[in-house]
Amino acid sequence: MSGDTPDWDVRYAGRDLREAQPAQVLLDFAHLLPAQGRALDLACGLGANALFLAHRGLDTAAWDSSPTAIAALERAAVGLGLATEIRDVVADPPPAEAFDVIVVSRFLERALAPRLADALKPGGLLFYQTFGPAEVDPARGPRRPAFRLACGELPRLFPTLALCVYREEGALGDTTQGLRDEVYAVFRRLPGGLADPPLPA
Ligand SMILES: C[S@@+](CC[C@H](N)C(=O)[O-])C[C@H]1O[C@@H](n2cnc3c(N)ncnc32)[C@H](O)[C@@H]1O
């Protein structure tokens, strides 16, 4: 294991689910969520996004490769009907057209991006939030640049999806305010695919 590739099972040992918060993109844009449908919290960790989605009435799956994280989530989700799974999402990505909503937070596996786009049902939404290039708080996020998004990279990872929301503040202005260190976006899979519309003359 490299110094920048954490052993998540070790990190999660003794952690309390109450420490975990849903991703800011989900909190800020919860009003875009459908009233029903299938949702996936991919690389869910302690599963705060999954719990949020399930409480919103979505039929929610939560996948992570860490057995410790999934066990903690299962203890917290009794009675909620969450479909938890210990799953390596790189080796075993979600199937095509399976979900109305996918949430990914603080997980970046670039090769998986086309599979995530395909895993949305037509009309489905992808909420994505992870670390960006600006390290405003040096204590947060991975050190290795490859594990952080480059400037403007997030929309480029999903060229077949329509971009609904994009937030990347970097280190601009007063860095004691705003969302720093992380970047987020909401994408939609258009029912007819993403055609290039002609620009107005
Ligand atoms: C920084 S944590 C983020 C957890 C959660 N999404 C959050 O925002 O709190 C990264 C998570 O990715 C999971 N992970 C890493 N590689 C994975 C893989 N190949 N398949 C599934 N989960 C993976 C880790 O176990 C860990 O829970």
Tell me the CATH number at 88: 3.40.50.150
CB 118 within 8 A of CB 96: yes
> Does a structural domain hold residue 190?
no
Q: Which of 5-19, 51-65, 79-93, 174-188 has the lowest mean pLDDT?
A: 5-19
> Does a structural domain hold residue 129?
yes
With H, G, I as helix, E, B as strand and everything else as coil, classify residue 69.
helix
CB-ligand 1 contact for 92 (6 Å cutoff) = no
Residue from 5, 13, 11, 17 nearest 41 by CA = 17
pLDDT averaged over every residue in the chain: 92
Atom of ligand 1 nearest to the CA of 129: 8
Nearest CA residue ID for atom 12, ligand 1 = 43
- Among 107, 116, 144, 182, which is best to mutate for testing ligand 1, by the most ligand atoms less than 8 A from CB? 107
CB-ligand 1 contact for 147 (6 Å cutoff) = no
Nearest CA residue ID for atom 16, ligand 1 = 65
> Does a structural domain hold residue 135?
yes
Q: How do residues 112-159 score in pLDDT, each as one tens digit?
A: 999 999 999 999 999 999 999 988 888 888 999 899 999 999 999 999
Q: Count up the domains in the chain and report the number.
A: 1
User: Does position 180 have pLDDT exceeding 70, yes or no?
Assistant: yes
> Does a structural domain hold residue 180?
no
Going from the C-alpha of 67 to that of each of 13, 73, 112, 148, the distances in angstroms are 10, 10, 21, 25
* Range(s) of the domain holding residue 102: 8-36+43-173
CB-ligand 1 contact for 70 (6 Å cutoff) = no
CB-ligand 1 contact for 20 (6 Å cutoff) = yes
